């Protein structure tokens, strides 16, 4: 896991490339404290920067940017390729010679042989750029499920890319202004939906896409999309298929030249990772969890019990309101883009870092793949209900307007807006998962842009803010549609992005074995009636090692006691926000979202 950055240009900034690259590299130093490097091509069309967190081949042979022996191809790479050994053997059989034990060199040689097609053979998490000195082209790619981030900005023939937005801004080339689409998307969903960012002009390369730059011209193309295709299969066959795919993924995610730990919350997903790790790995297993003084929030004892069950070396960090407050300044400084999440990953990553661990596994992704959220039951109900109400138009629209205008709670207001739109899975999902209603989001966006030249398109939700080209439509069931929305919206835009930034703030590589292309493709044909059964029954039945006392507990999300802390100990960080009486800010996550946005903007805008 590393930090990458680069500048591609024809004419504009060739004389100051060194200075810019040093600034960008410095902005990414936290992502790779073990090594750093800069490459500038002889014609000064391209400059790459890299900061390295050494996980595979800890020697100097893993230094980046890395080149082929003839100097034609250069790469800067962030991530891990879990099948690199298999790929290496295939390349060696074709006569390729290797000079390191890294996955980086495998990508480089694979691209040398196959060009853009190489991404279809890579299993893992990645964002990388490869420069071809002969063809004068740069190939930039991001992994299929969007685990690793990659942002870019283009003006004229110049394109800048980096692992974090802060590094692009460190080049001092982009002007700093809020993006209306990014801001609106953040307010509606609690995070910025890709390909937008909060900075106008900076975009996120979408998951499952690559980009090619040549002489200032840019071409972007999708190479993978989520695709659920239901096939006839028995429950026994489904359990076996899931079990085999999970074991395969866990084994691949433990490939490392340094010890690997596990984040253990005490829930089904992280406990499943520990259970399978105990089956596939020898020796000590390190696990890490967070506990609280407040009994109604504390699940630390449960995590300890799971650790005892599977004989792990367990470390718990008890977060109090005062300790959390001490961590807030560093947490706020670590934010690359605000969201309503991230603090939990930030805290548990700190304890893993302090314990000397450099790689951890997380159970993130289990709810999205196996139906662990309420959305899997509630969103299909909303769609069917909305479809029935559509038959009595315009009554449903009138009811919707009334609820949106006079609703007593944020959820009722969002429901009112849903009734005024076509009852699709996407509109129902947005209503159920929403933070602010669309009307509220427009008002707040206008508040932030009142002194800006940016004009707010209205209604902005019809301008493609939530369109996702990477997803196949016409899925077998409404539940499959919810699964792909959870994977591509909440998981990708919030959970994965926060996990990356907040773990890297502590120089920690976070891996997600349940967010694996091989796993998803292996189980994609299981009908939703089996795969998405309530309570994640398929996942549970595929892992009989899980103890009954864990399975018989009611599902609880992993939450911090934010409401209490914000109203008391953290009050000076989360003051009352003047947004008008018609916008309810009593709920902690609404107040948090505006306060975090303001803290971030103060840092960025200076």
pTM of the model: 0.93
| Ordered structural domains, the chain, with CATH | 2-179+196-222 (3.60.20.10), 235-360+509-605 (3.40.50.620)
| Rounded Cα distance, 274 and 280, in Å | 10
Collect all residues with Cβ–Cβ distance below 8 Å to 183 and sequence separation of at least 6: 198, 444, 445, 448, 449
Question: What's the pLDDT at 534?
Answer: 87
Tell me the pLDDT band of 580, cut-offs 50, 70 and 90: low
| Rounded Cα distance, 274 and 289, in Å | 13
Write out the E strands in 82-194: 124-132, 137-142, 151-155, 158-162
CB 281 within 8 A of CB 548: no
User: Residues 437-443: what's their mean pLDDT?
Assistant: 88
On the question of a cis peptide bond just before residue 195, with omega within 30 degrees of 0, the verdict is: yes
User: Residues 174-184: what's their mean pLDDT?
Assistant: 94
Tell me the pLDDT band of 394, cut-offs 50, 70 and 90: confident
Question: What's the pLDDT at 471?
Answer: 41
Report how far apart, in Å, the C-alpha atoms of 255 and of each of 91, 215, 360, 440, 513 are: 19, 39, 12, 47, 12
Which one has a higher pLDDT value, 543 or 266? 543
User: Residues 70-92: what's their mean pLDDT?
Assistant: 96
- Does the structure show a pLDDT above 80 at 81? yes
Question: pLDDT for 156-166, tens place per residue?
Answer: 899 999 999 99
Q: How many helices (H) and strands (E) does the chain have?
A: 24, 17
User: Residues 451-469: what's their mean pLDDT?
Assistant: 49
Torsion sign across C-alpha atoms 280, 285, 288, 291: positive
421: number of Cβ within 10 Å: 18
What is the overall mean pLDDT for the chain? 90
Question: What's the pLDDT at 374?
Answer: 94
User: Residues 410-421: what's their mean pLDDT?
Assistant: 83
Tell me the pLDDT band of 327, cut-offs 50, 70 and 90: very high
Share of the chain above pLDDT 90, in %: 69
How would you classify the pairing of strands 46-52 and 124-132? unpaired
| Axis-axis angle for helices 343-354, 321-334 (nearest 10) | 100
How far, rounded to the nearest angstrom, does the alpha carbon of residue 604 sit from its chain's CA centroid? 21
Collect all residues with Cβ–Cβ distance below 8 Å to 328 and sequence separation of at least 6: 570, 573
User: Residues 20-30: what's their mean pLDDT?
Assistant: 96
Catalytic residue among 2, 118, 204, 489: 2
Tell me the pLDDT band of 337, cut-offs 50, 70 and 90: very high
CB 153 within 8 A of CB 165: no
User: Phi, psi at residue 368, to the nearest 5°?
Assistant: -70, -35
| Rounded Cα distance, 144 and 268, in Å | 25
Length of the chain: 606
Tell me the pLDDT band of 373, cut-offs 50, 70 and 90: very high
DSSP label at residue 196: -
- Does the structure show a pLDDT above 90 at 12? no
| Axis-axis angle for helices 438-448, 410-419 (nearest 10) | 110
How would you classify the pairing of strands 151-155 and 202-204? antiparallel
Question: What's the pLDDT at 463?
Answer: 41
Report how far apart, in Å, the C-alpha atoms of 502 and of each of 197, 236, 447, 472, 516 are: 18, 39, 29, 30, 20
On the question of a cis peptide bond just before residue 65, with omega within 30 degrees of 0, the verdict is: yes
Question: What's the pLDDT at 54?
Answer: 84
Question: What's the pLDDT at 559?
Answer: 64
Question: pLDDT for 254-310, tens place per residue?
Answer: 999 888 999 998 899 999 999 999 999 888 999 999 988 765 555 678 899 999 999
CB 466 within 8 A of CB 488: no
Tell me the pLDDT band of 554, cut-offs 50, 70 and 90: low
Question: pLDDT for 190-247, tens place per residue?
Answer: 999 999 999 999 999 999 999 999 999 999 999 999 999 988 999 999 999 999 999 9
2 has catalytic annotation: yes
Question: What's the pLDDT at 558?
Answer: 52
Tell me the pLDDT band of 368, cut-offs 50, 70 and 90: very high
User: Residues 569-594: what's their mean pLDDT?
Assistant: 83
Share of the chain above pLDDT 70, in %: 92
Question: What's the pLDDT at 583?
Answer: 84
Tell me the pLDDT band of 393, cut-offs 50, 70 and 90: confident
| Rounded Cα distance, 344 and 495, in Å | 11
How far, rounded to the nearest angstrom, does the alpha carbon of residue 25 sit from its chain's CA centroid? 22
Edge-first strand order for the sheet with 359-361 is 313-319, 286-292, 260-263, 359-361, 509-511
User: Residues 569-592: what's their mean pLDDT?
Assistant: 82
Angle, alpha carbons 182-185-188 (nearest 5°): 150
- Does the structure show a pLDDT above 60 at 468? no
| Rounded Cα distance, 515 and 494, in Å | 14
CB-hemisphere CA count at 13 Å for 376?
A: 22
Tell me the pLDDT band of 467, cut-offs 50, 70 and 90: very low
| Rounded Cα distance, 13 and 411, in Å | 50
How would you classify the pairing of strands 66-67 and 2-8? unpaired
Tell me the pLDDT band of 464, cut-offs 50, 70 and 90: very low
| Rounded Cα distance, 340 and 500, in Å | 15
The DSSP-derived string for 267-321 is SHHHHHHHHHHHHH--S--EEEEEEESSTTT--HHHHHHHHHHTT-EEEEEEE-H
How would you classify the pairing of strands 260-263 and 286-292? parallel
How is residue 128 written in tokens? 């990388």
CB 603 within 8 A of CB 594: no
How would you classify the pairing of strands 46-52 and 2-8? antiparallel
Torsion sign across C-alpha atoms 206, 212, 218, 224: negative
Report how far apart, in Å, the C-alpha atoms of 516 and of each of 223, 409, 433, 472, 485 are: 16, 38, 24, 18, 16
DSSP label at residue 576: P
Torsion sign across C-alpha atoms 560, 597, 163, 481: positive
CB 29 within 8 A of CB 174: no
387: number of Cβ within 10 Å: 12
Question: What's the pLDDT at 299?
Answer: 65
């Amino acid at each position: 896991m590393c930090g990458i950055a680069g500048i591609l240009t024809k004419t504009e900034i060739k004389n100051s490339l060194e200075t810019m690259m040093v600034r960008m590299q410095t902005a990414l130093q936290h992502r790779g404290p073990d090594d750093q490097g800069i490459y500038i091509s002889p014609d000064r069309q391209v400059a790459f920067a890299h900061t390295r967190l050494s996980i595979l081949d800890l020697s100097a042979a893993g230094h980046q940017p890395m080149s082929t022996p003839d100097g034609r191809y250069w790469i800067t790479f962030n991530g891990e390729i879990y099948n690199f050994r298999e790929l290496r053997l295939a390349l060696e059989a074709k006569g390729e010679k290797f000079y390191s034990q890294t996955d980086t060199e495998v990508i480089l040689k694979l691209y040398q042989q196959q060009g853009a097609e190489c991404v279809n053979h890579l299993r893992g998490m990645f964002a990388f750029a490869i420069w071809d000195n002969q063809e004068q082209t740069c190939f930039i790619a991001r992994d299929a499920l969007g685990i690793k981030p990659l942002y870019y900005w283009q003006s004229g023939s110049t394109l800048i890319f980096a692992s974090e937005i802060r590094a692009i801004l460190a080049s001092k080339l982009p002007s700093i202004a809020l993006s209306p689409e990014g801001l609106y998307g953040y307010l509606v969903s609690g995070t910025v939906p890709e390909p937008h960012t909060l900075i106008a002009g900076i975009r996120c390369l979408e998951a499952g896409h690559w980009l090619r730059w040549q002489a200032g011209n840019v071409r972007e193309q999708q190479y993978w999309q989520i695709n659920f295709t239901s096939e006839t299969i028995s429950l026994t066959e489904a359990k076996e298929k899931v079990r085999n795919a999970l074991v395969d993924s866990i084994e691949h995610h433990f490939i490392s030249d340094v010890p690997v730990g596990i984040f253990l919350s005490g829930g089904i997903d992280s406990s499943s990772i520990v259970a399978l790790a105990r089956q596939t790995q020898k020796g000590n297993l390190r696990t890490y969890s967070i506990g609280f003084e407040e009994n109604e929030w504390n699940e630390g004892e449960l995590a300890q019990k799971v650790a005892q069950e599977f004989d792990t070396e367990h470390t718990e960090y008890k977060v109090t309101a005062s300790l959390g407050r001490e961590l807030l300044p560093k947490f706020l400084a670590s934010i690359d883009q605000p969201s309503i999440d991230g603090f939990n990953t930030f805290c548990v990553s700190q304890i893993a870092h302090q314990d000397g661990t450099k790689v951890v596994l997380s159970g993130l992704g289990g709810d999205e793949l196996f139906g662990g959220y309420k959305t899997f039951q509630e969103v299909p109900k909303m769609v069917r209900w909305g479809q029935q109400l559509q038959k009595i138009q315009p009554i449903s629209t009138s009811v919707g307007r009334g609820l949106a205008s006079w609703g007593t709670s944020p959820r009722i207001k969002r429901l009112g807006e849903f009734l005024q739109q076509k009852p699709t899975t996407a509109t129902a999902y947005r209503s159920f998962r929403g933070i602010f209603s669309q009307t509220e989001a427009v008002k707040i966006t206008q508040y932030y842009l009142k002194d800006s030249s940016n004009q707010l398109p209205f209604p902005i939700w019809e301008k493609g803010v939530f369109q996702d080209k990477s997803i196949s439509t016409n899925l077998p069931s409404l539940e499959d549609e919810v699964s792909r929305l959870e994977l591509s919206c909440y998981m990708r835009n919030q959970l994965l992005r926060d996990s990356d930034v907040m773990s890297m703030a502590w120089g920690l590589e976070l891996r997600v074995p349940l967010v694996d292309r091989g796993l998803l493709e292996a189980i994609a044909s299981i009908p939703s009636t089996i795969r998405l059964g309530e309570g994640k029954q398929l996942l549970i039945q595929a892992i009989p090692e899980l103890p009954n006392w864990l399975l018989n507990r009611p599902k609880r999300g992993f939450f911090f006691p934010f409401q209490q802390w914000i109203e008391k100990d953290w009050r000076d960080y989360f003051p009352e926000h003047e947004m008008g009486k018609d916008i309810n800010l009593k709920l902690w996550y609404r107040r948090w979202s505006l306060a975090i946005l303001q803290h971030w903007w103060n840092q960025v805008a200076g």
